[in-house]
Structure 1
Amino acid sequence: MESEAAILALAALAQPTRLDVFRLLVKHAPEGLAAGEIAKMLAVPQNTMSSHLSILSRAGLVTAQRFSRSIVYRADLTQFQAVMLFMLRDCCGGRPEICAPLVDDLTPRCQPKPRRKAHV
């Protein structure tokens, strides 16, 4: 990742509504949410939300897919991972033991949802 791409992504997230949008989309990954639903859930006017989603999209942090009349947005976790790895590339000046607690905190703690058994 180039510095410019990292700066664009970090700048996109450096605004409260866009950070809230990204975090909301992460919670709804991988399905994503329709733009109108995002606006409603965050109590933001749709035209304002459209601008925020465009900025996140240009930064590569969200993807959009049209379904009929709605557009579903998804967090691009691969791009977000690239930004985080860019930030940690030279972790603690070559002393990874210093960064071990940080890396541990970044390790996902999500447990997979148990599959429901089909009733026969």
Structure 2
Amino acid sequence: MVTTITDGVKVSVETIYQPEYSNPDHDHFMFAYKINIENMGSYAVQLISRHWNIFDSNGVKREVEGEGVVGQQPVIEPGNSHEYVSGCNLKTDMGSMKGSYHMVRLLDNTGFDVQIPEFYLIAPYRMN
């Protein structure tokens, strides 16, 4: 698990290779990732949007932007967290992701960006 804290918001990420949804013979590798977003600050925040940089080990980079996460724009009260699971397909059996969430402090509608730490997507057979 990798973790980072930005402006009182802690983001932790775990990854899982999905062999049942992968097809290595056709350069299709599926990974799931579980993200926990914890509000360690004093004010409620709302996740508005996300921005991802996705890298395959062959040098291909993709950018993905969109509203919320898995169809939600969660409000996270102080001391609470929001967890979700999503997925990413790669053309190689190794890669990485990193990005940011744009959030708003509900007290004064101040916007800020929270870093998502870089995490690696690696098929387990590559790790010996």
Task: Report if TM-score (shorter chain) is over 0.5.
Answer: no
Higher relative contact order (CA closer than 8 Å, sequence separation 6+): 2
Choose between structure 1 and 2: higher helix proportion: 1
Given the two structures, how large is their TM-score scaled by the length of structure 2? Answer: 0.21
Choose between structure 1 and 2: higher strand proportion: 2
Pick the structure with greater CA Rg.
1
